[in-house]
Amino acid sequence: MKSLENLRQIMAQLRDPKSGCPWDIKQNFSTIAPYTIEEAYEVADAIERHDMADLREELGDLLFQVVFHAQMAQEAGAFTLDDVISGICDKMERRHPHIYGTPKQIKAGAQAGAWEELKAVERAAKSTNDAAPSGILDGIAKTLPALKRAQKLQDRAARVGFDWPNLAPIFDKLDEEVAELKEAIAIPDNADNIMDEVGDLLFVCTNLARKLNVDAQGALRGTNQKFEHRFSWIEKRLNDQGKNPKDASLDEMESYWVEAKRRENP
Protein backbone atom coordinates (compact mmCIF):
# COMPACT_ATOMS: atom_id res chain seq x y z
CA MET A 1 0.00 0.00 0.00
CA LYS A 2 1.40 3.35 -1.04
CA SER A 3 1.54 6.18 1.49
CA LEU A 4 1.68 9.97 1.56
CA GLU A 5 5.44 9.65 1.92
CA ASN A 6 5.59 7.74 -1.39
CA LEU A 7 3.73 10.59 -3.08
CA ARG A 8 6.06 13.16 -1.54
CA GLN A 9 9.08 11.24 -2.83
CA ILE A 10 7.59 11.02 -6.32
CA MET A 11 7.00 14.77 -6.32
CA ALA A 12 10.55 15.46 -5.14
CA GLN A 13 11.90 13.26 -7.95
CA LEU A 14 9.75 14.99 -10.55
CA ARG A 15 11.15 18.34 -9.41
CA ASP A 16 14.78 17.17 -9.23
CA PRO A 17 16.80 19.69 -11.29
CA LYS A 18 19.04 16.98 -12.80
CA SER A 19 16.84 13.91 -13.26
CA GLY A 20 13.30 15.23 -12.95
CA CYS A 21 10.54 15.94 -15.46
CA PRO A 22 11.24 19.10 -17.52
CA TRP A 23 7.58 20.21 -17.33
CA ASP A 24 7.35 19.79 -13.54
CA ILE A 25 10.69 21.48 -12.98
CA LYS A 26 9.72 24.69 -14.77
CA GLN A 27 6.43 25.14 -12.89
CA ASN A 28 5.83 27.67 -10.10
CA PHE A 29 2.97 28.55 -7.74
CA SER A 30 1.26 30.78 -10.28
CA THR A 31 1.39 28.28 -13.13
CA ILE A 32 0.14 25.41 -10.96
CA ALA A 33 -2.68 27.36 -9.24
CA PRO A 34 -5.12 27.02 -12.21
CA TYR A 35 -4.64 23.24 -12.15
CA THR A 36 -5.35 23.20 -8.42
CA ILE A 37 -8.62 25.05 -8.95
CA GLU A 38 -9.54 22.77 -11.85
CA GLU A 39 -8.92 19.64 -9.77
CA ALA A 40 -11.12 20.98 -6.96
CA TYR A 41 -13.95 21.49 -9.45
CA GLU A 42 -13.46 17.98 -10.81
CA VAL A 43 -13.81 16.63 -7.27
CA ALA A 44 -17.09 18.53 -6.93
CA ASP A 45 -18.25 17.22 -10.31
CA ALA A 46 -17.59 13.59 -9.29
CA ILE A 47 -19.59 14.16 -6.11
CA GLU A 48 -22.42 15.71 -8.10
CA ARG A 49 -22.49 12.63 -10.35
CA HIS A 50 -22.30 10.23 -7.36
CA ASP A 51 -19.34 8.54 -9.06
CA MET A 52 -17.26 7.07 -6.24
CA ALA A 53 -14.61 5.57 -8.52
CA ASP A 54 -14.09 8.93 -10.21
CA LEU A 55 -14.16 10.73 -6.84
CA ARG A 56 -11.35 8.51 -5.57
CA GLU A 57 -9.23 9.40 -8.61
CA GLU A 58 -10.04 13.12 -8.46
CA LEU A 59 -9.21 13.30 -4.76
CA GLY A 60 -5.83 11.80 -5.63
CA ASP A 61 -5.30 14.46 -8.28
CA LEU A 62 -6.22 17.17 -5.78
CA LEU A 63 -3.89 15.69 -3.15
CA PHE A 64 -1.11 15.72 -5.72
CA GLN A 65 -1.68 19.45 -6.17
CA VAL A 66 -1.21 19.99 -2.42
CA VAL A 67 2.02 17.98 -2.49
CA PHE A 68 3.19 19.90 -5.58
CA HIS A 69 2.75 23.28 -3.86
CA ALA A 70 4.37 22.01 -0.66
CA GLN A 71 7.39 20.72 -2.62
CA MET A 72 7.89 24.09 -4.31
CA ALA A 73 7.59 25.83 -0.94
CA GLN A 74 10.18 23.49 0.58
CA GLU A 75 12.57 24.25 -2.27
CA ALA A 76 12.10 27.96 -1.55
CA GLY A 77 12.73 27.44 2.17
CA ALA A 78 9.20 28.61 3.07
CA PHE A 79 7.57 25.51 4.58
CA THR A 80 7.27 21.75 4.12
CA LEU A 81 4.46 19.25 3.64
CA ASP A 82 4.82 18.32 7.31
CA ASP A 83 4.27 21.99 8.19
CA VAL A 84 1.07 21.99 6.11
CA ILE A 85 -0.20 18.87 7.87
CA SER A 86 0.80 20.13 11.31
CA GLY A 87 -0.86 23.48 10.66
CA ILE A 88 -4.22 22.02 9.64
CA CYS A 89 -4.17 19.59 12.58
CA ASP A 90 -3.56 22.48 14.99
CA LYS A 91 -6.29 24.54 13.36
CA MET A 92 -8.90 21.78 13.53
CA GLU A 93 -8.11 21.10 17.19
CA ARG A 94 -8.23 24.82 17.96
CA ARG A 95 -11.59 25.23 16.22
CA HIS A 96 -13.14 22.26 18.03
CA PRO A 97 -12.58 23.09 21.70
CA HIS A 98 -15.67 21.04 22.62
CA ILE A 99 -13.68 17.98 21.52
CA TYR A 100 -10.00 18.89 21.99
CA GLY A 101 -10.21 21.70 24.54
CA THR A 102 -10.04 21.88 28.29
CA PRO A 103 -12.32 19.69 30.43
CA LYS A 104 -14.51 22.79 30.95
CA GLN A 105 -14.79 23.43 27.20
CA ILE A 106 -15.55 19.78 26.47
CA LYS A 107 -18.23 19.73 29.15
CA ALA A 108 -19.82 22.89 27.70
CA GLY A 109 -20.12 21.21 24.31
CA ALA A 110 -20.38 22.81 20.86
CA GLN A 111 -21.80 26.32 20.66
CA ALA A 112 -23.70 27.73 17.70
CA GLY A 113 -21.57 30.20 15.79
CA ALA A 114 -18.41 29.24 17.66
CA TRP A 115 -16.63 28.25 14.43
CA GLU A 116 -16.95 31.72 12.92
CA GLU A 117 -16.04 33.34 16.23
CA LEU A 118 -12.86 31.28 16.42
CA LYS A 119 -12.02 32.18 12.82
CA ALA A 120 -12.49 35.86 13.67
CA VAL A 121 -10.11 35.51 16.62
CA GLU A 122 -7.55 33.85 14.33
CA ARG A 123 -7.85 36.67 11.79
CA ALA A 124 -7.41 39.26 14.53
CA ALA A 125 -4.34 37.46 15.87
CA LYS A 126 -2.88 37.24 12.38
CA SER A 127 -3.42 40.95 11.77
CA THR A 128 -1.23 41.84 14.74
CA ASN A 129 1.70 40.45 12.76
CA ASP A 130 0.84 42.47 9.67
CA ALA A 131 1.67 46.09 8.98
CA ALA A 132 -1.94 47.01 8.26
CA PRO A 133 -4.89 46.13 10.52
CA SER A 134 -7.16 43.31 9.42
CA GLY A 135 -10.44 44.36 7.80
CA ILE A 136 -13.80 42.64 8.17
CA LEU A 137 -13.64 41.38 4.58
CA ASP A 138 -9.99 40.29 4.64
CA GLY A 139 -9.17 36.66 3.94
CA ILE A 140 -11.93 35.96 1.41
CA ALA A 141 -10.09 34.51 -1.58
CA LYS A 142 -10.33 36.67 -4.68
CA THR A 143 -10.08 33.57 -6.87
CA LEU A 144 -13.38 32.15 -5.63
CA PRO A 145 -16.20 31.94 -8.21
CA ALA A 146 -17.82 35.37 -8.29
CA LEU A 147 -21.21 34.24 -6.91
CA LYS A 148 -19.59 32.32 -4.07
CA ARG A 149 -17.33 35.25 -3.19
CA ALA A 150 -20.24 37.72 -3.30
CA GLN A 151 -22.17 35.62 -0.81
CA LYS A 152 -19.16 35.31 1.49
CA LEU A 153 -18.58 39.07 1.37
CA GLN A 154 -22.23 39.65 2.27
CA ASP A 155 -22.12 37.08 5.07
CA ARG A 156 -19.06 38.71 6.58
CA ALA A 157 -20.57 42.22 6.41
CA ALA A 158 -23.86 40.97 7.88
CA ARG A 159 -22.05 39.74 11.00
CA VAL A 160 -21.31 43.33 11.96
CA GLY A 161 -24.84 44.54 11.21
CA PHE A 162 -24.40 45.71 7.60
CA ASP A 163 -27.46 43.90 6.30
CA TRP A 164 -31.06 44.45 5.31
CA PRO A 165 -33.50 43.64 8.14
CA ASN A 166 -35.84 41.59 5.94
CA LEU A 167 -36.67 40.70 2.34
CA ALA A 168 -38.78 43.74 1.45
CA PRO A 169 -35.93 46.23 0.91
CA ILE A 170 -34.04 43.64 -1.13
CA PHE A 171 -36.94 43.35 -3.57
CA ASP A 172 -37.05 47.16 -3.68
CA LYS A 173 -33.34 47.18 -4.47
CA LEU A 174 -33.88 44.60 -7.22
CA ASP A 175 -36.47 46.90 -8.84
CA GLU A 176 -34.05 49.81 -8.51
CA GLU A 177 -31.19 47.91 -10.14
CA VAL A 178 -33.40 46.68 -12.99
CA ALA A 179 -34.48 50.29 -13.65
CA GLU A 180 -30.86 51.46 -13.63
CA LEU A 181 -29.89 48.70 -16.05
CA LYS A 182 -32.69 49.71 -18.43
CA GLU A 183 -31.46 53.31 -18.28
CA ALA A 184 -27.91 52.21 -19.04
CA ILE A 185 -29.07 50.10 -22.00
CA ALA A 186 -30.92 53.09 -23.44
CA ILE A 187 -27.66 55.07 -23.70
CA PRO A 188 -25.61 54.39 -26.90
CA ASP A 189 -22.04 53.07 -26.54
CA ASN A 190 -22.47 52.48 -22.84
CA ALA A 191 -20.96 48.99 -22.51
CA ASP A 192 -18.91 49.67 -19.37
CA ASN A 193 -21.87 51.11 -17.49
CA ILE A 194 -24.12 48.26 -18.63
CA MET A 195 -21.60 45.74 -17.33
CA ASP A 196 -21.46 47.60 -14.01
CA GLU A 197 -25.24 47.62 -13.67
CA VAL A 198 -25.49 43.91 -14.53
CA GLY A 199 -22.95 43.24 -11.78
CA ASP A 200 -25.02 45.26 -9.30
CA LEU A 201 -28.12 43.28 -10.24
CA LEU A 202 -26.35 39.95 -9.78
CA PHE A 203 -24.98 41.11 -6.42
CA VAL A 204 -28.47 41.94 -5.16
CA CYS A 205 -29.79 38.58 -6.43
CA THR A 206 -27.00 36.88 -4.49
CA ASN A 207 -27.96 38.82 -1.38
CA LEU A 208 -31.56 37.69 -1.81
CA ALA A 209 -30.36 34.08 -2.01
CA ARG A 210 -28.33 34.58 1.17
CA LYS A 211 -31.31 35.97 3.07
CA LEU A 212 -33.32 32.93 1.96
CA ASN A 213 -30.53 30.59 3.16
CA VAL A 214 -29.93 29.48 -0.43
CA ASP A 215 -26.43 28.87 -1.76
CA ALA A 216 -26.37 31.13 -4.84
CA GLN A 217 -23.60 29.15 -6.51
CA GLY A 218 -25.45 25.87 -5.97
CA ALA A 219 -28.75 27.36 -7.13
CA LEU A 220 -27.22 28.55 -10.39
CA ARG A 221 -25.47 25.23 -10.89
CA GLY A 222 -28.84 23.49 -10.54
CA THR A 223 -30.41 25.85 -13.06
CA ASN A 224 -27.53 25.23 -15.48
CA GLN A 225 -28.19 21.49 -15.27
CA LYS A 226 -31.90 22.06 -15.78
CA PHE A 227 -31.21 24.19 -18.85
CA GLU A 228 -28.89 21.52 -20.29
CA HIS A 229 -31.49 18.80 -19.74
CA ARG A 230 -34.30 20.79 -21.36
CA PHE A 231 -32.22 21.98 -24.31
CA SER A 232 -31.04 18.41 -24.90
CA TRP A 233 -34.70 17.43 -25.14
CA ILE A 234 -35.24 20.14 -27.78
CA GLU A 235 -32.32 18.75 -29.77
CA LYS A 236 -33.64 15.21 -29.45
CA ARG A 237 -37.14 16.12 -30.61
CA LEU A 238 -35.76 18.06 -33.57
CA ASN A 239 -33.33 15.28 -34.41
CA ASP A 240 -36.26 12.83 -34.54
CA GLN A 241 -37.54 14.98 -37.41
CA GLY A 242 -34.17 15.15 -39.14
CA LYS A 243 -33.67 18.75 -38.03
CA ASN A 244 -31.34 20.67 -35.76
CA PRO A 245 -31.88 23.88 -33.75
CA LYS A 246 -30.56 26.04 -36.60
CA ASP A 247 -33.41 24.76 -38.78
CA ALA A 248 -36.14 25.38 -36.18
CA SER A 249 -38.06 28.51 -35.32
CA LEU A 250 -38.01 29.96 -31.83
CA ASP A 251 -41.68 29.07 -31.39
CA GLU A 252 -40.97 25.44 -32.29
CA MET A 253 -38.07 25.22 -29.85
CA GLU A 254 -40.15 26.91 -27.17
CA SER A 255 -42.89 24.31 -27.59
CA TYR A 256 -40.37 21.51 -26.99
CA TRP A 257 -38.99 23.44 -24.03
CA VAL A 258 -42.46 23.47 -22.47
CA GLU A 259 -42.72 19.76 -23.28
CA ALA A 260 -39.44 19.11 -21.45
CA LYS A 261 -40.74 20.98 -18.39
CA ARG A 262 -43.89 18.88 -18.38
CA ARG A 263 -41.82 15.71 -18.50
CA GLU A 264 -39.98 16.83 -15.37
CA ASN A 265 -43.26 17.35 -13.50
CA PRO A 266 -45.82 14.91 -14.96
The CA-atom distances, in angstroms, between 22 and each of 17, 146, 266 are 8, 35, 57
Please say whether the beta carbons of 105 and 97 come within 8 A.
Answer: yes
How sure is the predictor about 23, in pLDDT bands with cuts at 50, 70 and 90? very high
- Give the pLDDT confidence of 221-239 residue by residue, as tens digits: 899 999 999 999 999 999 9
CA torsion angle 220 213 91 65 (round to 10)? -10
29-87: per-residue pLDDT in tens?
A: 999 998 999 899 899 889 988 999 999 999 999 999 999 999 999 999 999 999 999 99
Question: So where are the chain's domains?
Answer: 4-94, 99-135, 218-264
Q: Which CATH superfamily is domain 4-94 in?
A: MazG-like (1.10.287.1080)
The 10s digit of each residue's pLDDT in 101-116 is: 888 877 777 665 566 6
